[in-house]
Amino acid sequence: MFDHINVVLIATTHSGNIGAAARAMKTMGLSRLTLVNPKTFPSEEATARASGAQDILENARVVTSLDQALFDSEVVFGASARLRNLSCPCIPPREYAEKIIHEHTGRNIALLFGRESSGLTNEELDRCHYLVNIQTTEDFYSLNIAAAVQVLSYELRSSFLYAQQHNIKDSNKLDITTESDEALASGKSMQHFYQSLESLMVEVEYLDPKNPRFLMRRLHNIFNRIRLTQSEINILLGILAAIKKYLSHK
Amino acid sequence: MFDHINVVLIATTHSGNIGAAARAMKTMGLSRLTLVNPKTFPSEEATARASGAQDILENARVVTSLDQALFDSEVVFGASARLRNLSCPCIPPREYAEKIIHEHTGRNIALLFGRESSGLTNEELDRCHYLVNIQTTEDFYSLNIAAAVQVLSYELRSSFLYAQQHNIKDSNKLDITTESDEALASGKSMQHFYQSLESLMVEVEYLDPKNPRFLMRRLHNIFNRIRLTQSEINILLGILAAIKKYLSHK
């Protein structure tokens, strides 16, 4: 049911949290776990806290970069305990669940969870199409990482059962009517696009390679927001390639 | 905001779970914790896992019976990972949150969480007006106790914010129009009532004191379902007292 949902834990420090996250996922029917540079894995502590969800740990992918984690992801949600002042839309968990169920039905989804101490970096936030804000109280937003996985897994299952029970049709809830059923651009394609674009801008001296950040962030915000399909990104990549080829012959 | 919500953990075995539950509560604005016969408390493990929610542990009430825990509770919700075949209504978390926010506004609420290994006993279930079923997958319902506290705390806060945002008025959502604003019978009053009723039934030989369970469960189901007000329970208690007084003089 939720095989297309990829839970991605980034640089998790406490290995117990990895086990607790696996257990949280399994109770709600999620099974696909990716670990980006975990401090320790596998570990006894993770296995103990998984408490019967050992299969999820055994099948977890362990990778060394976010690019590898998101290679086939079409839509990326990042968990954020605080509201961020960004142009990437920040939505509550119920809306995130409805988006996955009704708007992005069947698409490859990634849920990003950041470090225990500091959450997601700006570079990681740039990969997100949405931020999901689990609204804690203002004076205590220290949500445990496995507890956040539990809440977002729960909300997904709960909203799915609710929609099933209330017979909500996919078509009734689509709020972006122009979007086709075509596959969206994968994370790998989008990275390829951003890298091509960046190198091109450097080459044409539009972008200072010593300080590329601000402009690249703005561009991420723009292109992530429009959620390009695979054929659309192929067109853009084709344009970039054509420009580069032309420049090399100049 | 949620000061009238009492989280009651019964006979918790792993002290880390107590700390994690306190942390889960605090992120969502709950503060009132009652521990019934915890195996170990206070403990280093609980403090470590509370991670900044130490104030909730310090203010926790530690009691030796459910009667003490529920002494002032007007409405009792019991967390249940599985659907139970009981006449006590079994509802999903979203409905539980809506009941607390719209139907029982401001009333003293207790949320019961049972043992890690075996959940709530039949006697404890009898004290519940509702069971809240966090719908796990059928083949893996091993929800960690602190994760369950997180889900129910989250759902309460989330539904509250949702109602606030959508300006849902209390009056629009009341589905039991006959219920007044009067205080409901406290847990203490209800226990007094059941004990008086039971002893009376034994006295009149309607109930076999060696095997009272089945009949008493049925009675709990009946009287818990109608949610008596304090003045109504006083009337019933008055009737029982009058009968007993009469019998003693006979």
Of all residues in chain B, the one with the smallest CA distance to A142 is B27
**Is B175 part of any domain?**
no
Radius of gyration (C-alpha) of chain A in whole angstroms: 19
Q: Which two tokens stand for residue A144?
A: 């445990």
Q: What letter does residue B90 receive in the DSSP assignment?
A: E
| Residue numbers in B near A135 (CB within 8 A) | 157-158, 161
SS3 readout for chain A: CCCCEEEEEECCCCHHHHHHHHHHHHHCCCCEEEEECCCCCCCHHHHHHHCCCHHHHHCCEEECCHHHHCCCCCEEEEEECCCCCCCCCEECHHHHHHHHHHHCCCCCEEEEECECCCECCHHHHCCCCEEEECCCECCECCCCHHHHHHHHHHHHHHHHHHHHHCCCCHHHHCCCCCCCCCCECCHHHHHHHHHHHHHHHHHCCCCCCCCCHHHHHHHHHHHHHHCCEHHHHHHHHHHHHHHHHHHHHC
Is A164 an 8 Å CB contact of chain B?
no
Closest-CA distance of chain B to residue A183, Å: 29
**Is B179 part of any domain?**
no
Q: Residue A170 — very low, low, confident or very high, per pLDDT cuts 50/70/90? A: very low
Beta pairing, strands B75-80 & B109-113: parallel
Q: For B189-237, what is each residue's pLDDT tens digit? A: 888 989 988 888 888 777 888 877 777 887 887 778 777 888 888 888 8
**Is B182 part of any domain?**
no
Indicate if B46 and B109 belong to the same structural domain. Answer: yes
**Is A26 part of any domain?**
yes
**Which of B137, B144, B154 has its CB closest to that of A20?**
B144
Q: Is B132 helix (H, G, I), strand (E, B) or coil?
A: strand
Closest-CA distance of chain B to residue A233, Å: 37
| Residue numbers in A near B28 (CB within 8 A) | 136-137
Contact A135 B158 (CB under 8 A): yes
Closest-CA distance of chain A to residue B165, Å: 12
Rounded CA separation B8/A215 (Å): 52
Region A185-214: what's the mean pLDDT?
A: 84
Residue A37 has φ and ψ, to the nearest 5°, of 45, 55
Of all residues in chain B, the one with the smallest CA distance to A19 is B144
Is A137 an 8 Å CB contact of chain B?
yes
**Which of A29, A143, A158 has its CB closest to that of B94?**
A158
Query: What length is written for chain A?
Result: 250
Closest-CA distance of chain B to residue A129, Å: 22
Indicate if B154 and B214 belong to the same structural domain. Answer: no
Indicate if A118 and A242 belong to the same structural domain. Answer: no
Closest-CA distance of chain A to residue B160, Å: 11
Last residue of a domain, one of B115, B140, B170: B170
Total domains present in chain A: 2
Indicate if A81 and A196 belong to the same structural domain. Answer: no
Is A220 an 8 Å CB contact of chain B?
no
**Is A179 part of any domain?**
no
**Which of A141, A143, A147 has its CB closest to that of B147?**
A147
Contact A158 B28 (CB under 8 A): no
Q: Which residues contact A16 (CB under 8 A, 6 or more apart)?
A: A45, A46, A48, A49
CA-closest candidate to residue B33, choices B97, B106, B110 = B110
Of all residues in chain B, the one with the smallest CA distance to A116 is B51
**Is A180 part of any domain?**
no
Radius of gyration (C-alpha) of chain B in whole angstroms: 19
Indicate if B234 and B128 belong to the same structural domain. Answer: no
| Residue numbers in B near A152 (CB within 8 A) | none
Is B142 an 8 Å CB contact of chain A?
yes
Rounded CA separation A235/A223 (Å): 14
Q: Residue B109 — very low, low, confident or very high, per pLDDT cuts 50/70/90? A: very high
| Residue numbers in B near A27 (CB within 8 A) | 136-137, 140-143, 147
Indicate if A194 and A74 belong to the same structural domain. Answer: no
Residue A8 has φ and ψ, to the nearest 5°, of -115, 115
Q: Residue B179 — very low, low, confident or very high, per pLDDT cuts 50/70/90? A: very low
Given strand B90-91, what is the order of strands in its sheet?
Answer: B61-63, B32-36, B5-10, B109-113, B75-80, B130-133, B90-91
Expressed as residue numbers, the domain containing B82 is 5-170
**Is A59 part of any domain?**
yes
Q: For A98-121, what is each residue's pLDDT tens digit? A: 999 999 988 999 999 999 998 999
Indicate if B203 and B89 belong to the same structural domain. Answer: no
Closest-CA distance of chain B to residue A136, Å: 5
Is B42 an 8 Å CB contact of chain A?
no
Q: Which two tokens stand for residue A212?
A: 């590329």
Q: Write out the E strands in chain B.
A: 5-10, 32-36, 61-63, 75-80, 90-91, 109-113, 130-133
Indicate if A93 and A40 belong to the same structural domain. Answer: yes
| Residue numbers in B near A157 (CB within 8 A) | 135, 137
Report the Cα–Cα distance between both ends of chain B, in Å, rounded: 53
Contact B144 A94 (CB under 8 A): no
Is A163 an 8 Å CB contact of chain B?
no
- For residues B140 and B250, the model is more confident at B140
Last residue of a domain, one of A170, A199, A231: A170
Contact B137 A93 (CB under 8 A): no
Residue among A13, A91, A151, A165 with most chain B CBs within 10 A, to mutate: A151
Asked whether residue B135 carries a pLDDT value surpassing 60, the answer given is: yes
A59 to A23, A54, A114, A146, B143: CA distances (angstroms): 13, 9, 21, 18, 20
Indicate if A195 and A161 belong to the same structural domain. Answer: no
Residue among A150, A159, A162, A165 with most chain B CBs within 10 A, to mutate: A150
Q: For A3-46, what is each residue's pLDDT tens digit? A: 999 999 999 999 999 999 999 999 999 999 999 999 999 999 99
Query: Model ipTM?
Result: 0.76
CA-closest candidate to residue A30, choices A60, A62, A10 = A60
Domain CATH for B44 = 3.40.1280.10
| Residue numbers in A near B24 (CB within 8 A) | 144, 147
Beta pairing, strands B61-63 & B75-80: unpaired
Indicate if A148 and A66 belong to the same structural domain. Answer: yes
Task: Tell me the residue type at A55.
Answer: D
Q: How many helices (H) and strands (E) does chain B have?
A: 11, 7
- For residues B236 and B96, the model is more confident at B96
Indicate if B124 and B229 belong to the same structural domain. Answer: no
Contact A137 B94 (CB under 8 A): no
Domain CATH for A194 = 1.10.8.590
Q: For B51-90, what is each residue's pLDDT tens digit? A: 999 999 999 999 999 999 999 999 999 998 766 656 578 8
**Is B90 part of any domain?**
yes
Q: Residue A177 — very low, low, confident or very high, per pLDDT cuts 50/70/90? A: very low
Last residue of a domain, one of B142, B170, B198: B170
Indicate if A140 and A213 belong to the same structural domain. Answer: no
Rounded CA separation A198/A215 (Å): 9
Closest-CA distance of chain B to residue A80, Å: 13
Q: Is B207 helix (H, G, I), strand (E, B) or coil?
A: coil
